Structure 1
Amino acid sequence: MTAVRLASISVDLDSLPHYCRIHGLPESLLDEQARTLIHRVAVPRFLELFAAVGVPGTFFVIGEDLESDPGASDGMRRAHAAGVEVASHSHAHDYALTRRGPDAIAEDLARADAAILKAVGVRPSGFRAPGYTLNADLYAATVAQGYRYGSSAFPAAPYYAAKAAVMGALAALGRPSRSVLDTPRVLLAPRVPYRPDPARPYRRGSGPVLELPMTVTPVVRFPFIGTFATTLPRGTMRAAYRTCRADAFFNFELHGVDVLDATDGIPPELVRQQRDLRTSAAKKVERLRSIFQWLKDDFDVVTLRDAAGQLSATL
């Protein structure tokens, strides 16, 4: 009997202040409309897209957004009612969370869980680290919180090199990024689901919280994520997809901005830095619709929570 191949589609709901922090821009550029844009506009667009293709999804939400924006809580309740999994993307989305020490990390995760529980009535089953950065202290906190899975490992060499270059350029301009460059050891992490070594979570071990890495291609480890999927030529993405189509699990990761563009009320200073915002939202949504359909045709598309449930028995 042939094993069922699984795919998941997840969306990190990073609000625009975090993009200002990445690009070294003042958050004062953002008015209240811009600050709430991800939950007001992007979330409904993704819900419509999931429904149109007939696939489930997973939202990784930031706890403090739920606390500060009633609309965000309302949107997550609607998403939960529609069958979308609501998972944790930490409380404050602090890019330096892994450097805060065990107590501060544990407090952050607990606050995020409490905010999600209050918003949707269910504790999250999974976690994705801010900036995809994982270490032993953060992994231990996910174990203590009782998560079923984590989805933070991103072993993408081209992404890592580009991030390092951008951070260096911003520092040279006197506009340092608040982002954090992960250890190079992440580049050797498995590209398929695995149980981490709790002391070195980018290596295989016997940790209780399953790790579901974001999909990268074999060999060159090109990242198959929303930023590239919505902006690179369709043929390029189709070729990258074919190299991963035989995988037992495909983890397609996106961000809220992947369905937004400059006309949605984003300050031009941020649009200049976040180049994918120059592509029209309509074009990006249509591209994502196609990719979601590819996944539906080739895989059993499930939430990350359900994927973890099915995969855990095989690892």
Structure 2
Amino acid sequence: MLVLRPVEPTDLPQLQQLARDSLVGVTSLPDDSERLREKIASSCASFDSEAKAQGPENYFFVLEDLDSQKLVGCSEILATAGFNEPFYSLRNRHFTSASRELNIEHGVPALSLCHDLSGHTLLRGFHIDAGLVRTPFSELLSRARLLFIAAHSGGFADAVITEIVGYSDENGHSPFWDALGKHFFDLPYVEAERLCGLQSRTFLAELMPQYPIYVPMLPQAAQDCIGAVHPDGQEAFDILEREGFETNSYIDLFDAGPTLYARTANIRSIAKGQTATVDQQATIDARGRYLLSNDGLHGFRAIVAELDYQPGQPLALTPALCAALHVTDGSTIRLTSL
């Protein structure tokens, strides 16, 4: 059985292996033991804080195979993007110029450095083993974070965002970075992303051009990257799009990947999620597949299970499912259909 749970200090060796296997551009998952150790400690402190209001907390989750005790994925929630430093991105909007004498008005798309998205809750750090891609466990790894937000809504913003990794080729070259960022830093794309993971994007962002960059002046290959999704990032995009997230006018600073946005109250797993009381039974006449979680904080657990759920009725769970979720008879459970 696969269970999503909060990260623990003993997870460091396996977490570093996940970082090695993760997609270039997932800067929140650096392949560096000291940085990962700091991230784990920060996450443990966040789970222990019992925050009642939105703050700097980051909640890091791992997907564990209980039989083998192997970690097969991870994902994260940052309660407030830009809480400790600006959260930089590029705003892609039309710049309109006009001439009354010539009766001409012309709009040109332009990219502007901004930190408009600071203050939103940020989903990040999504990675799952290749053998589990496009299975219900990918849904568990991504969407269980939304059930956690629903259970502890006071600690999160009214809007949620996520940055999807943009296009780079099999050799790690990003046409967008080569056309823009590389002119300001003599670094390849992979190295720039690595430095962001080890430190922050702020020191790089502050050296980026402060004036609008007119999109038609970029090479066509770079223009084609704007809002494009890396093939290995498509599943993360698709899952959240089904949740009601939409692209907007913001893109990633380095690879031009799209930013997804949703009002928290409108997210499917939050708006249509259900709660039920646990009724422990030896067997279940399963009729549908669901994602379910407890409402714990440090003890948060989430799984995928075949259930017989009837709205307004107690939810039958086997002893094995109860043990995986750390619940007993009468506990409150949160669930949403797959």
TM-score (norm 1): 0.28
TM-score by length of 2: 0.26
Q: Which has the higher strand share?
A: 2
Greater per-residue helix proportion? 1
